[in-house]
Amino acid sequence: MYQPSPTRKSITLTTLAKMKRDREKFTVLTAYDASFAVLMEATGVEVLLVGDSLGMVIQGQRTTVPVTMEDMIYHTRMVARGCQTALLMADMPFASYATVDQAVYNAARLMQEGGAQMVKLEGGGALAETVRQLSRNGIPVCAHLGLLPQSVHKLGGYKVQGRDAAAAQQILDEALALQEAGADVALVECIPAELAGRLTAALDIPLIGIGAGPDCDAQVLVCYDMLGITPGRRPKFSKNFLTGCDSVQAAVEAYVRAVKSGEFPGPDHCIA
Ligand code: KIV
């Protein structure tokens, strides 16, 4: 059985801020249950994300839109049971933060009933007031920018964001506005690597990337993608780390090593 490192201290926002200052990359993986949480933590993953991607990889839905608060609370509670030192972040599901009051109420449920230590919500500058109120209530926030999977129907598909100069500037401005509102961490999905590099330099808070190139402060992958077991098409920016490994633990170790050394994401996993 995997054992948490007896020497590893709890990972907190202070730890992540220090890692950014020291230019030490940290690793994030999605987790949906206690067994994966124990394994990932024992392997040194700093942040576990209970992603609403569970709608697709666990529930077999076509998008994350059908995922409910009850689903998120259930899986967050399962991961929390296996998580002792990693920072536990949970997604706020579709439409659960449509108003500021709803956001505070539902984020508090994820923390009190699920055991989350940080919530993640998708959106830009329009969420600044929501982020400010969450922050005032002592709720750590990760602001998810770039491709917003919960808006897939509005976007007309899963498309690269921030390609032209105006769109790139908008993402930069929105990230800075959310940082100013109190966001503790930002996450960008599916944007050009060059834009992610500019964001990392511009932000004081740590930036986690997925499909955003090597210059972010941290990387995240959907764990079923990095184990090559997601049914159907795997995003191009992902990588199957189980190839050439003889166990899930070895694959997660390979991922941690590749992120920390800067080897992942390589050119094949970047958007130009
Ligand atoms: O839900 C999820 O797994 C996510 C990642 C893709 C970042 O938000």
* Domain ranges for the chain: 13-269
Question: Whose C-alpha lies nearest to ligand 1, atom 1?
Answer: 51
| Atom number of ligand 1 nearest to Cα 64 | 1
| Atom number of ligand 1 nearest to Cα 28 | 7
**Residues in contact with 115: Cβ distance below 8 Å, sequence separation at least 6, in sequence order:** 76, 77, 79, 80, 83, 88
* CA count, 13 A, side-chain hemisphere, 185: 34
As given in the structure block, the two tokens for residue 160 are: 């690269």
State the pLDDT at residue 233: 81
Q: Is 189 a catalytic residue?
A: yes
Helix 69-82 vs helix 34-42: angle between axes, to the nearest 10 degrees? 50
For the chain, 272 residues long, the average pLDDT of each consecutive 10-residue run is: 74 98 98 98 97 97 97 98 98 98 98 98 97 98 98 94 97 98 98 98 98 98 96 89 96 98 94 81
CA of 64 to the centre of ligand 1 (A): 9
State the pLDDT at residue 4: 63
The pairs formed by 233-240 with CB atoms below 8 angstroms and a separation of 24 or more are 235/158, 235/190, 235/211, 236/211, 236/269, 237/190, 237/210, 237/211, 237/265, 237/269, 237/270, 237/271, 238/211, 238/269, 239/264, 239/265, 239/269
Is 83 a pocket residue for ligand 1 (Cβ < 6 Å)? no
Among 29, 142, 222, 226, residue to substitute to test ligand 1 (most atoms within 8 Å of Cβ): 222
Among 29, 30, 94, residue to substitute to test ligand 1 (most atoms within 8 Å of Cβ): 30
Closest CA to 224 of 46, 44, 25, 55: 55
Asked: is 13-269 a CATH 3.40.630.10 domain? The reply is: no
Is 220 a pocket residue for ligand 1 (Cβ < 6 Å)? yes
Single out the catalytic residue among 41, 46, 189, 253. Answer: 189
Question: Whose C-alpha lies nearest to ligand 1, atom 2?
Answer: 51
Spatial separation of the C-alpha atoms in residues 118 and 261, rounded to whole Å? 26
| Atom number of ligand 1 nearest to Cα 52 | 1
Closest CA to 73 of 101, 31, 36, 115: 115
In one-letter notation, the amino acid at residue 196 is A
As given in the structure block, the two tokens for residue 162 are: 């921030």
Spatial separation of the C-alpha atoms in residues 33 and 81, rounded to whole Å? 8
| Atom number of ligand 1 nearest to Cα 30 | 3
> Whats the size of the chain, residue-wise?
272
Measured in degrees and rounded to the nearest 5, phi and psi for residue 209 equal: -120, 150
Spatial separation of the C-alpha atoms in residues 10 and 247, rounded to whole Å? 26
As given in the structure block, the two tokens for residue 107 are: 């984020």
**Residues in contact with 68: Cβ distance below 8 Å, sequence separation at least 6, in sequence order:** 93
User: What's the whole-model pTM score?
Assistant: 0.97
Q: Are 225 and 235 in contact (CB under 8 A)?
A: yes
CA of 53 to the centre of ligand 1 (A): 6
CA of 122 to the centre of ligand 1 (A): 10
CA of 18 to the centre of ligand 1 (A): 24
* CA count, 13 A, side-chain hemisphere, 76: 31
CB atoms within 10 A of CB 232: 6
With 0-12 / 13-18 / 19 or more C-beta atoms within 10 angstroms meaning exposed / middle / buried, residue 187 is buried
State the pLDDT at residue 155: 92
